[in-house]
Amino acid sequence: MAKSNLDTAVSAALWWRGVKSRTVPAFLPLLFDEHRHLVLKGGGGSGKSIFAGQKIIERCVSEPGHRFLVSRKVARTLRQSCFHQLSQQAREMYPDEVEVIPRGNSSEMYIRFRNGSEILFAGLDDVEKLKSIHDITGIWIEEASEVAEGDFDQLDIRLRGATKYYKQIIISFNPISINHWLKKRFFDREDKRVRVHESTYRDNPFLPEEDRLTLEAYKETNPYYYTVYALGMWGVVGKTFFHAQNVQEQLEKRILPVRVGRFAYDYDGLAISNIRFVDDDTSFVRIYQEPSPGRPFVCGGDTAGEGSDSFVGQCLDNVTGQQAAILRSCYEDGMDEGLYAKQLYCLGQYYNEALLAVETNFSTHPQKELERLGYKNFYVRERADTYSGRTAKSFGFQTTSRTRPMVLGELQRLVREQPELIVDQTTLDELLTFTFDEKMHAAAEGDAHDDCVMALAIAYHARTQQRNYDAPNANGRKPWTKGMWEDYRNASAREKEQLLAEWGDPA
């Protein structure tokens, strides 16, 4: 008895050693992952396909009675890719467990194991064959970027009912377009049943040197290929309006907000008081830089039109130009013009009564509401007063055929010269999908949004109406900058005394 326990332990240890030696480390934790959708996004040669095959074979061997379906768009391509790969893997990993693998080009594609587990192959274009496959216990969709969302849904429905082991669909693909349904479905929203994984060739220690060099050479020859296949990031087709490489490099930094949440406040029907920031990962305000005392900020706002537009507020540090915070929400998430105005009010107050420049084209309601709430610091535009014929001053920003190209042009230059100022992922995504159409009219690609871009452009444009230095504090001195604090910390005791005398109290 003791001996057989020992045998089991030894064979388990040997098995694990084998698994570790043949698996790309970045994928190892996914071997036991039980989410319904295991989404493998990655560049070329990262090891997605090999790993999907490894996991399926491990499960077939250790969980008897599986019926895995492996599918991609076109049946013809399945044989050379998945069937070929899985046959080879099965023979290498568990030669004694394999029962049948038909050979020859004309024969059926399937793999059967001695314990009854099977792997079946069907292209999405082979409707008859797909229909004939029943009682599936798991699915791998290879090159899912080729697959329509409707076809995916059909497969998803096929995997239901009672099975002995957990049901999982593995989805592997290259991120060929930032507007792909895969991004919207699996990356742009929270879903507890989904596990997403991102990988690149750099994760794969087994990749031949030659393949690595090919991928890296795209950097010089083809920026789109480099983005998708080397960096494993969502690709953008079409002529981008903003400097794509700069935006890409910012995205690669994957800068995270320091806080995520929303503003809570007391409201008595007239005024807002007791503003505080409530941390909540699912909420719509992302803070990248907290306000420091006396620091001036500018906030640009874009109101949602009809449909799927968002309400956006973009907040900038007006000394450095750095993007400090973003507020972004839509009707679907329960936002409306009134709530938006109140959140903007709080955002402005939180950022030292920032200058607010809100777009008043679609609706003047948020601007009016901000005025009613008693907000004090607004962007002022000049407009021709039709009644008196003189120019009058109004609050808020008006997007016209004259102002739109102007503010977008200003932002275009900024992205070219100082891309490091923009840090928010959603904003950077939108900058990438902002393209020229045939009439050289800059607009969001396909059904992509441009609210973050417009709000940002308005914020940058409004900067000249806000001071660009820290306000002096009560003792008439400017608050210390980060650099001053650093110098002070590194100074000797004697130097510290001198610095204090020179700069005054930091508070």
Positions that interact with ligand ATP (CB under 6 A): 22, 24, 42, 44-50, 174, 204, 206-208
Q: Which of 204, 168, 156, 227 minimizes the C-alpha distance to 39?
A: 168
The residue of the chain with the least Cβ separation from Mg ion equals 49
Nearest distance, CB of residue 489 and ligand ATP, angstroms: 47
Measured CA to CA, the distance from residue 140 to residue 49 in angstroms comes to 10
Identify which of residues 228 and 357 has a Cβ nearer to ligand ATP in the complex: 228
Identify which of residues 22 and 219 has a Cβ nearer to ligand ATP in the complex: 22
Nearest distance, CB of residue 256 and ligand ATP, angstroms: 26
Q: Which does 45 bind (CB under 5 to 8 A by kind): Mg ion, ligand ATP, none?
A: ligand ATP
Compute the Cα dihedral for 499, 500, 502, 503 and give only its sign. positive
In a 3-state reduction of DSSP, which class is residue 62?
helix
Nearest distance, CB of residue 55 and ligand ATP, angstroms: 12
Contact criterion met (CB below 8 Å) for 415 and 431? yes
CA–CA distance from 374 to each of 7, 346, 349, 387 (Å)?
78, 12, 11, 27
Nearest distance, CB of residue 74 and ligand ATP, angstroms: 15
Nearest distance, CB of residue 125 and Mg ion, angstroms: 19
Identify which of residues 229 and 379 has a Cβ nearer to ligand ATP in the complex: 229
Identify which of residues 143 and 445 has a Cβ nearer to Mg ion in the complex: 143
Nearest distance, CB of residue 44 and ligand ATP, angstroms: 4
Q: Looking only at residues 41 through 80 of this chain, which bind Mg ion when binding is defined by CB under 5 A?
A: 49
Give, rounded to a whole angstrom, the gap between the first and last alpha carbons of the chain: 74
What is the phi/psi pair of residue 48, to 5°?
-60, -50
Count, in order, helices (H) and strands (E) of the chain. 17, 19
In a 3-state reduction of DSSP, which class is residue 265?
strand
Q: Which does 175 bind (CB under 5 to 8 A by kind): Mg ion, ligand ATP, none?
A: none
Identify which of residues 230 and 458 has a Cβ nearer to Mg ion in the complex: 230
Nearest distance, CB of residue 121 and ligand ATP, angstroms: 17
Identify which of residues 64 and 208 has a Cβ nearer to ligand ATP in the complex: 208
Contact criterion met (CB below 8 Å) for 337 and 392? no
Identify which of residues 205 and 483 has a Cβ nearer to Mg ion in the complex: 205
Q: Which does 24 bind (CB under 5 to 8 A by kind): Mg ion, ligand ATP, none?
A: ligand ATP
Residue 360 makes contact with Mg ion by CB under 5 A: no
Q: Which does 50 bind (CB under 5 to 8 A by kind): Mg ion, ligand ATP, none?
A: ligand ATP
What is the phi/psi pair of residue 355, to 5°?
-70, 125
For residue 320 the two structure tokens come to 């450095």
Nearest distance, CB of residue 206 and ligand ATP, angstroms: 3
Measured CA to CA, the distance from residue 300 to residue 323 in angstroms comes to 11
Q: What is the Cα gyration radius of the chain?
A: 29
Identify which of residues 180 and 463 has a Cβ nearer to ligand ATP in the complex: 180
Contact criterion met (CB below 8 Å) for 412 and 241? yes
Helical (H) or strand (E) element with 128:
helix 127-132
What strands lie across the sheet with 194-199, from one edge to the other? 98-100, 110-113, 118-121, 67-71, 138-141, 168-173, 37-42, 194-199
Q: Which does 412 bind (CB under 5 to 8 A by kind): ligand ATP, Mg ion, none?
A: none
Q: Which does 300 bind (CB under 5 to 8 A by kind): ligand ATP, Mg ion, none?
A: none
Site of interaction with Mg ion (CB under 5 A): 49
